[in-house]
Amino acid sequence: MKLLIAVIQDKDTSELQDAFIKNNIRATKLSTTGGFLKSGNTTYMIGIDDEKVQKTLDIIKNISRTRKKYMTPPVNLDGGANEGSYPVKIQVGGATVMILPMDAFHQF
């Protein structure tokens, strides 16, 4: 048994939830915030049998897309104010998945 903790961008949540239901993958969904942009994320906690881990990872990978986004840095590199800053293109999205061993899993 494994515990998968998957952090994904909010934009991919609905499609991923549908895929979990379709593939009979039970997941607990938590709303989270964090990262470089302090943007909305969704964290899924998934207790799953070892033989289903790769299939679950494949589903997450196929649905959680990376995107390009423009943002204006909050400060200049020289420590000055934000005046005259130009937007920069950054990559956002995708998924971060942590896999932990789990000794037991109970549903009551």
30: domain CATH number is 3.30.70.120
- Residues with Cβ within 8 Å of residue 31, at least 6 apart in sequence: 40, 41, 42, 43
Assigned domain for 80 exists = no
Assigned domain for 51 exists = yes
Assigned domain for 22 exists = yes
Assigned domain for 70 exists = yes
pLDDT value at residue 85: 67
Query: Percent of the chain, pLDDT > 90?
Result: 51
Contacts 24+ apart (CB under 8 A), 30-38: 32/7, 34/7, 36/90, 37/69, 37/71, 37/90, 37/92
1 close to 102: Cβ distance less than 8 angstroms = yes
Assigned domain for 37 exists = yes
The domain in which residue 94 lies consists of: 2-75+86-101
Assigned domain for 81 exists = no
Q: How many domains are there within the chain?
A: 1
Distance (Å, whole) CA 82 – CA 25 = 46
Stated pTM of the model:
0.75
Q: Provide the edge-to-edge strand list for the sheet that holds 28-34.
A: 28-34, 39-48, 2-9, 95-101
Assigned domain for 108 exists = no
Assigned domain for 13 exists = yes
What token pair was written down for 57?
Answer: 């990872």
Note the pLDDT tens digit of each residue in 31-82. 887 765 566 789 999 999 999 999 999 999 999 977 776 666 666 555 555 5
pLDDT value at residue 94: 79
